[in-house]
Amino acid sequence: MSAADPLSRPATTVDIVVYPGFKAMEAIGPMSVFEYANVHLRRDGRPDGYDVRIASMRAGQVPSDTLMSLHATRTLDPQALPHTAIVVGARDIHRALAQGGAIVDWVARAAPRLPRLAALCSGAFFLGAAGVLDGKPATTHWSVAERLQAEHPGIAVDADAIFVRAGHVWTSAGVTAGIDLALALVEEDFGKELALQVATDMVVYLKRPGGQSQFSSHLLSERTARPGIRDIQKWILDNLHERLSVAQLAQKAMMSERHFARVFLQEVGLSTQEFIATCRFERARQLLADVALPLKTVAARAGFNGEAQMRRVFQKRMGIAPGQYRERFATTGVAAGRNG
């Protein structure tokens, strides 16, 4: 389906697949995107573009991870498929998998015949268990990315991507990234203008400027118990362009190098040098969103010893060069038909 289709086309059926303990926001976010799209289409005198239903292993109320439940009006049936199926994630995805074997079976049988299949956050584990992601790039929430890769080595897991498209199969990062993916589906179906109108209504980015781990160093800082270590982390983030050493940071913290290194590791979960390296990598990714900045400038501002070192780091962490990574930031990528 594309933006060039006639106005009289039937609404795209979208089944949001839930189960006990599903993440409520991952269901509500995409539902809201599709409803806002319908609102704008109606204002333009056009028919609804989406017919959204809740599907589950059995009909009826399905409790989420919050006080809210959703009413499933459809049961999973491989003989009655929607155009688009979206499988949401769960906080305890392995418990959900143990109780949701019927979903794995349905995904395995339905995937070859679904025009579009998506998994949000840890919902990727259902697709992984069904073998749908073998040989494909995919993403999931950063906290379970290593586990997805370990359990399904045939998947090329990109732990930083907000969402990944691999043919007709889509996967997204955690929670609110489901909104990003849904906006990309709207852009694919109706064009960038409608997707941008929906994003504006919802006060979100059409394509947020960064990957999952752009937040990780800041989140690590917020979880740090000692104010002094938080101050050091902030100072590191503000001075990445400088040559930073453990001795320099220990002096600022008014500790011996040995004691500082031990406390930093205990508080942050990373050594000082690991934290600095992560921050430099994240800063480079953020700067790459500005296509006007030469790669040499990006490397300098992120504190790398030149463009060559930055390239080596990107190749090691992402498997791609900085220039290739930059290409992700032009748009959602779906209007031009780019696949993962």
Concatenated DSSP letters of 115-126:
SEEEEEGGGHHH
Q: What does pLDDT average to over the chain?
A: 87
| DSSP letter assigned to residue 242 | S
Q: Are residues 146 and 232 in the same domain?
A: no
CA distances from 34 to 7, 147, 183, 194 (A): 17, 31, 8, 11
* 146 token code pair: 């290593």
Q: Are residues 182 and 56 in the same domain?
A: yes
**Confidence at residue 246, expressed as pLDDT on a 0 to 100 scale:** 93
How, if at all, do strands 137-138 and 116-120 pair? unpaired
Q: Are residues 240 and 323 in the same domain?
A: yes
Q: Are residues 167 and 19 in the same domain?
A: yes
Mean predicted confidence (pLDDT) in 139-147: 91
**Confidence at residue 6, expressed as pLDDT on a 0 to 100 scale:** 41
Long-range contacts, 53-56 (Cβ 8 Å, 24+): 53/13, 53/14, 53/15, 53/16, 53/82, 54/15, 54/16, 54/18, 54/27, 55/15, 55/16, 55/17, 55/18, 55/82, 55/85, 56/17, 56/18, 56/19
Helix residue ranges per DSSP H, 44-191: 93-99, 101-110, 124-129, 145-151, 177-190
Domain that holds residue 260: 213-328
- Asked if residues 177 and 163 have their Cβ atoms less than 8 Å apart, the reply is yes
Q: Are residues 63 and 197 in the same domain?
A: yes
Of 15-29, 91-105, 194-208, 211-225, least confident by mean pLDDT is: 211-225
Q: Are residues 160 and 287 in the same domain?
A: no
Mean predicted confidence (pLDDT) in 237-262: 92
Q: Are residues 136 and 164 in the same domain?
A: yes
Of 100-104, 109-113, 162-166, least confident by mean pLDDT is: 162-166
Confidence grade of residue 113 (pLDDT, cut at 50, 70, 90): very high
CATH number where 41 lies: 3.40.50.880
Confidence grade of residue 190 (pLDDT, cut at 50, 70, 90): very high
Q: Considering 175, 208, 241, which residue would you say is the last residue of a domain?
A: 208
Distance CA 321, CA 305 (A): 16
Q: Count the alpha carbons within 13 Å of 179 in the hemisphere toward its beta carbon.
A: 22
Task: Give every CB contact of residue 25 below 8 A, 6+ residues apart in sequence.
Answer: 175, 176, 178
In a domain, 25, yes or no: yes
**Confidence at residue 335, expressed as pLDDT on a 0 to 100 scale:** 38
Please classify residue 99 by burial: count the beta carbons closer than 10 Å to its beta carbon, then call 0-12 exposed, 13-18 middle and 19+ buried: middle
Mean predicted confidence (pLDDT) in 154-159: 91
Q: Are residues 273 and 128 in the same domain?
A: no
Q: Are residues 138 and 54 in the same domain?
A: yes
Closest CA to 166 of 212, 111, 126, 218: 111
Type and span of the H or E element at 27 = helix 24-43
Record the pTM.
0.65
CATH number where 222 lies: 1.10.10.60
Percent of the chain clearing pLDDT 90 (strictly above): 63
Of 8-17, 38-47, 217-226, least confident by mean pLDDT is: 217-226
Sign of the C-alpha dihedral, residues 41, 29, 116, 105?
Answer: negative
Could you identify the residue written with the tokens 């995107």? 33
- The answer to whether residue 25 scores a pLDDT higher than 50 is yes
**Confidence at residue 1, expressed as pLDDT on a 0 to 100 scale:** 46
Type and span of the H or E element at 197 = helix 192-202
Closest CA to 171 of 179, 17, 162: 162
- The answer to whether residue 99 scores a pLDDT higher than 70 is yes
* 6 token code pair: 């006639």
Of 115-129, 138-152, 207-221, least confident by mean pLDDT is: 207-221
**Confidence at residue 207, expressed as pLDDT on a 0 to 100 scale:** 60
Confidence grade of residue 4 (pLDDT, cut at 50, 70, 90): very low
Q: Are residues 170 and 224 in the same domain?
A: no
- The answer to whether residue 210 scores a pLDDT higher than 90 is no
Concatenated DSSP letters of 267-331:
HHSS-HHHHHHHHHHHHHHHHHT-TTS-HHHHHHHHT-SSHHHHHHHHHHHHSS-HHHHHGGGSS
Distance CA 137, CA 273 (A): 30
Distance CA 164, CA 24 (A): 22
Closest CA to 185 of 200, 206, 203: 206
Distance CA 181, CA 119 (A): 10
Could you identify the residue written with the tokens 């969103």? 289
* 233 token code pair: 């982390």
Mean predicted confidence (pLDDT) in 262-267: 89
Q: Are residues 152 and 69 in the same domain?
A: yes
pLDDT tens digits for range 68-95: 999 999 999 999 999 999 999 999 999 9
